[in-house]
Structure 1
C-alpha cells in the first residue's frame, strides 16, 4: 500500500496508540472527581497541558484541549463573535479557508455579522494591502489559515500578526491544522490570539485537538456545563486523547527537526516527475508552499476515475479537502485562485508524510502515468 492522502488524515503512530491505551486503562477516573483516582487523573491532565505549552512555547493556561480542527475553528470564530459583538460585528477571512471556517462565517452572517472574504492571487495567497484596507472600526476578528489544505500555499502569517498588533481591539485566529510539524509557526508575542491544531493530521488520533487561546483573549463558550477547560469547553475531559495529542505533537516536532530535508527532497522529486507527464498541470505554487502537498490537474479527465484506478493498485490519493471531496463540483480553492474551469474540475491532491519514500513516489508516478495514458486512449 502507498498512502498519499496525509492531509486528510495520517496513520496513528504506534507510541501514540500505546499512550492512549495505557491512560485509558490506568487513569480512567474523571479528573473532576474529588477522590484519589480523580486527583491522579487531574494531575496527568495538567501535566499534559504543561507539556503541550512547552512544545508550543506558550503558557499552560493558554492550552485548551478540543476534539479537533472543526471544533477549534468554530470555538475560536463563534467564541469571539458572540463575546465581542457589542463592540463590532465585522470579521475578515479569506476565500480559501477550510469548510469549518467558511461555514462558521456564513452561519454568523445569518445572525447579522458582516464577513469580508479576502481574494487570493494565482498562488493562493492574500494581499497584505487588501487586508489593511479591509480593517474597519468594528472589525473584531481576522481568521486566516497558515497552510492551505488543498494546494499547500502558505499565508504571510507573521506580517498579518504585525498588522493585528497595531489594532489591539481585534483578535487574530490562525487555522494551523496543515502547518503543524511541517511549516513552523511562532505563537508567542507575534500577534496571534488563537490557533487551531488537530491531532489526526500529525499521526495522532481522530477526535483530539488543541486550541491556543492567549491570556488577553476572552471567548463566549459554545458548550456550557461543568466549567472544565477554564469554562471555555465544558464536558468531562478526554484525558487519554489529550495525552495522545501531546505525544503526537512531540514526535512530529522531532521529525521536523531531523527529517525535514528528506521530506523536501521527496516533494521536489515528485514535482519534477509530475512535470514530465503529458497532460498534467501543477496547481501548487513553487513558493510559498508547504513541503507535503502537491495539487495538480489533468484537464479532460475525471479525477474520481483516476483515484479509483490508482486505488485498485493500492495507491491512495484524493481530490479536494476530505471535508468536501464527496461533493462532485469544482474545487472552490482553485476557482478562487482564478484557474480555468477545466483545471478546477480535474484536480487531484497528493499529500506526503515523513514516512513517504522516494521508492513509493517512483511507483506512484509510474502508475499515474499509466492511468492517464489509458484514459486518454479510451477517450480518443
Structure 2
C-alpha cells in the first residue's frame, strides 16, 4: 500500500470514530468546574433520558460552569450497543444534518455568591437528528476539540416494536423474601423477525437507573408463541435496599428538617444533621425521589437554572465501622453513583464518625451511603441502610434487538415500573 493510500485509510478510520472507545462509555465529568449536570426528557424534569424515534420528543442537557464567562462548548452523539461500546458504523448512518453542533444557549448566574454560567441544549434539533434507535452517548467538548472532553452522558432512543408487561414479586428463595424484589416480565415481539430468541433479543433491567447493579437477560425461561417469558426462579432478583436519605436546600435562609446549621458569608455553608446507620430489621416508609435530585430556589428566585446558589454541604455518618475495615462513600444520581475520591468519606477517630464536604447547587437531593470492605471490590449497598422488600423503587426494562447479520443493536421496547404498582 502506498503512503498516500495508507493516509487515506487512516483518515477514514478516524473520521468514522474507529480510534475511539475500546471500553464501555459511562457518565463522566472530566473538568472539576462542571457541576449539576442534568439530562432528561423535556416532558418531565429528571425523567429517564429516553425519547421515541421520529417523534417530537426532545432531551434537555443542562450544566453549570463555575469558571464563569463564556466558553466554546460543542457536542456530538455516538451510537452504542447494549453494552455501551461504540457501534462500528459511520455517523452518516445514525445522524442526519450535522455531526456536531455548538452550544449557544447560555446564561450567567444572577444574585448568587458563587458565580457560574449555565449551559443548555435541547435535542434532537435541526442541526443534530437521529436516524436509528439504540443506546447513544452524548459528548460535550471544548473548542471543537474532542481531546478536550468536558462530559459524557448516556441516553436512549426507542423505536417501539415489541410490547412488554412486568411485575415485581417476592423472590422464590424464602431467605430473600423479606429483603429482595424480583422482576418478572414478558416480551411479545409480534411480527418482528426473531429467528433465535436466545441471541436476537436482550433485555436489560435497571433499578433506579443504577447501571452497576443492572441485569442483562440473554435467554428467556420459556417461549409461548411470540411471547418470551422471563420468570426463572433464580434470576432478576434485586436487593430492595431502603428509601433514600434526602435534604432540601431550596432555601438558604430557613432550616429544613435535615438541616442543622446554615452559615452565609463570603460563601454558603450548610451542616446537615448526623446521619445514623439505618439498617433496622423493620421497614419504615418515608417519601423519597428514588435517587434523583432537583435544583431549586425558594429564596425569591424565579429561575433556579441561574439564581440558585451553591453551598458547601457537610455530611456526617455515624457508624461503628472504622476505616480499618473498609471505605464509606456517598452516592446518588447527583454524582452518578460513582465511587471516587470525590465521593469517599473521611473517618475521624476522635468522634468515630465519617465526614465529607460536597459543593452542591441549591435543591432537593436524594443520597445514600455505601460500603466497600477493605481488600474487596464488592460493593455493599446494605451496610448503612439495610434492605427491605417493601422499599419503593423504580425499575427500567429496555429491550434490545440484534438479529444475525445486523450491523447495530436496536432499542425496540421500554417499560418503566414502580413497586407501588405491583
Q: Same fold (TM over 0.5)?
A: no
TM-score (norm 1): 0.24
Higher helix share: 1
Greater Rg over alpha carbons, structure = 2
TM-score (norm 2): 0.23
Higher strand share: 2
